Amino acid sequence: MRGFSHLFKITFADLSGTAATTKTQGLVTLPVGSLVRNAAFFLKSGFVGASVTNLTLEVGWNGASVDDPNGLIEAAELATAGTEILAGDATGVAFATKRTGFAPQESSAIEALFTATGANLTALTAGEVWVALDVVDLSKLG
């Protein structure tokens, strides 16, 4: 995978066991000294589910004292019933407002937040999204 160090494949099966409209999917926990240089997503296949009118993806971090659930990818639409976005970079749909990287000052979990509209995530029957991160361990340079 050129330019990225981590790839996470999330399917409808990872989400459909949740009887709620939101689910936080952990991706990786980064120690101090890490740097996320880039983030991107690719909608391998649009998400489908009875009465699911929208499904958004946000990617960000959750640390002991600092959280930003959409710090890397901003509310990208994944449902075929909505206007799905097939791919995007770390800035998502709000290019001018997103950061270009993240260097945790404490151990921080990188998480994907999925939010459905119209029905619970249990209604999902198809869909797959890939989230790619470019992470470097600065403490191992030199």
Kindly report, residue by residue over 43-83, the tens digit of the pLDDT.
Answer: 999 999 999 999 999 999 998 888 888 888 888 889 998 78
- pLDDT of 120 reads 97
Please give the Cα distance from 115 to 83 (Å, whole number).
15
Please give the Cα distance from 60 to 67 (Å, whole number).
8
* 91-110 pLDDT tens trace: 544 433 455 578 888 889 99
Look at the pTM and tell me if it is higher than 0.85. Answer: yes
- pLDDT of 63 reads 85
Please give the Cα distance from 94 to 83 (Å, whole number).
16
- Centre a 10 Å sphere on the Cβ of residue 133 and count the other Cβ atoms it contains: 23
Domain 6-136 grouped into CATH 2.60.120: yes
Q: Two tokens at 61?
A: 């971090």
* 108-117 vs 34-49, strand pairing mode: unpaired
82-87: long-range contacts (C-beta < 8 A, 24 or more apart)?
Answer: 82/53, 82/54, 82/55, 84/43, 84/46, 84/47, 85/43, 86/42, 86/43, 87/40, 87/41, 87/42, 87/43
